[in-house]
Amino acid sequence: MRVAIIGGGAAGFFSAFSVKEHHRNASVTIFEKSNKLLSKVKISGGGRCNVTHACFSPSKLSKSYPRGGKHLKKSFSVFQAQDTVEWFSQRGVELKAEEDGRMFPTTDSSQTIIDCFHKEAANKNITITVQSPVTKIVKEKEGYTLQFESRSEQFDKIIVATGGSPKMSGFYWLQKLGHTISPPLPSLFTFNMPGDQIKILMGLVVENATVHLQGTKLSHHGPVLITHWGMSGPAILKLSAWGARHLAENNYNFKIQINWLSIKSDEVANEIIEEKLLAIRKKKISNACPFELPNRMWLFLLEKVGIDPDSVWHELSKKNRNKLLNILLNDIYEVKGKTTFKEEFVTCGGIKLSEIKMTSMESRICKDLYFAGEVLDIDGITGGFNFQAAWTTGYIAGKLIE
């Protein structure tokens, strides 16, 4: 059996490993259009490679995918995060979980993953061909012909693992085979706030904020990072992923409401102040924040509502206390534009999952044509989830169920 895998990234390599694991005598070739293999793996997680996420329940894991989660639930019962940890461990690569659940190799180097993959490919006699862009897939009576710029080759089965494309044109060759494409859009991006004073706090992190997208029911909780262009951090990135299509429809002009304390109501916040008032009543407001907030953020918010930082707590009027509580729990920011991570570009969009048999990753449109990874309309809320989707769909596609 001759199997062609189009795409030399995470999903492509893992598909190849799975083919050889389940069909030892198969001939497997990976075709990569550029001269770079595993490029996303290399730069993921700041060069450490966020391999997967420490979530070992298929149903819980599936809830971290803004698009594709329901379809992936069954797929994760075949190959999930625990299987990923064991797969790497069996090949001498140990993974560690950080506090937020992200998992990295213990070496903190993506090169460890790349070296592991190249060694595995060599052990399994997988052929890797770079600078070989596929120009056309031609369906034959039996199998497929892959057309390249100056040659063509025949294969029995094809696995497409080309990753996401930022433009619809990147999917034209798959549309020609009869597939429907959900239009690609950026899925993980940061929020630009041109002209907003908050940018003077760049580098500051508020660990426990809740960000709500006005006009929707979408909100996410977690760290918010202030940048020189606006805001980033897990809460912002999750919101960008879940709201990707809504935000695109609004041309990335929208408002967010931030609860810097993640406290549910003014009453609860007021009670916290009252509990601490005896100890801080004679102190300057600037030096005695009753909440767990970075001092620079506290001073910024005091200035924003016009409270004199040198005044003392017992002099604070009820009106000013209410203004302070309001900005702590309902701070509003206008967003105008986005910034994407070009190297780690994640899209929502791709091959519609209704056209894929999720138990085999085979196309319902074209027999013996399979898909894996971000070319599908699947995206996770962080890199680790996207890699897990690549490992899972690649593993299932590689089984090439007859």
Do 198 and 181 belong to one domain? no
pLDDT-based confidence at 345, cuts 50/70/90?
low
Residue 165 identity? S
CA pair distance 164, 15, nearest whole angstrom: 16
Do 172 and 255 belong to one domain? no
CA pair distance 377, 321, nearest whole angstrom: 48
The count of structural domains within the chain is 2
Do 384 and 279 belong to one domain? no
Do 7 and 135 belong to one domain? yes
Q: What is the CA radius of gyration of the chain?
A: 25
Do 202 and 159 belong to one domain? no
Structural domain of 285 = 189-340
Please tell me the predicted confidence (pLDDT) of residue 340. 83
Kindly state the tokens that stand for 253.
């002009």
Give per-residue pLDDT as tens, 87-99. Answer: 999 999 999 999 9
* pLDDT at 188 > cutoff 60: yes
Residue 33 per-residue DSSP state = S
pLDDT-based confidence at 326, cuts 50/70/90?
very high
Q: Could you tell me the CA-to-CA distances from 285 to 132, 172, 324 in Å, in that order?
A: 65, 61, 11
- List beta partners, residue 224: 206
Kindly state the tokens that stand for 20.
């050889």
CA pair distance 39, 44, nearest whole angstrom: 9
Kindly state the tokens that stand for 366.
């074209």
Mean pLDDT of 53-66: 96
pLDDT-based confidence at 153, cuts 50/70/90?
very high
pLDDT-based confidence at 383, cuts 50/70/90?
confident
Residue 36 identity? K
Do 154 and 44 belong to one domain? yes
Do 211 and 75 belong to one domain? no
Do 355 and 299 belong to one domain? no
At which of 324, 340, 356 does a domain end? Answer: 340
At which of 294, 324, 340 does a domain end? Answer: 340
Residue 204 per-residue DSSP state = -
Do 329 and 373 belong to one domain? no
* pLDDT at 344 > cutoff 60: no
Do 158 and 209 belong to one domain? no
Q: Which of 385, 281, 305, 307 is nearest to 66 (CA)?
A: 385
| Cα distance between the two ends of the chain | 12
Do 12 and 117 belong to one domain? yes
Q: The domain spanning residue 9 has which CATH number?
A: 3.50.50.60
Give per-residue pLDDT as tens, 224-277. Answer: 999 999 999 999 999 999 999 999 999 999 999 999 999 999 999 999 999 999
Mean pLDDT of the chain: 95
Kindly state the tokens that stand for 65.
């995918």
Mean pLDDT of 284-290: 96
Q: Is the whole-model pTM more than 0.75? A: yes
CA pair distance 240, 280, nearest whole angstrom: 39
Do 92 and 171 belong to one domain? yes
At which of 340, 361, 376 does a domain end? Answer: 340
* pLDDT at 69 > cutoff 70: yes
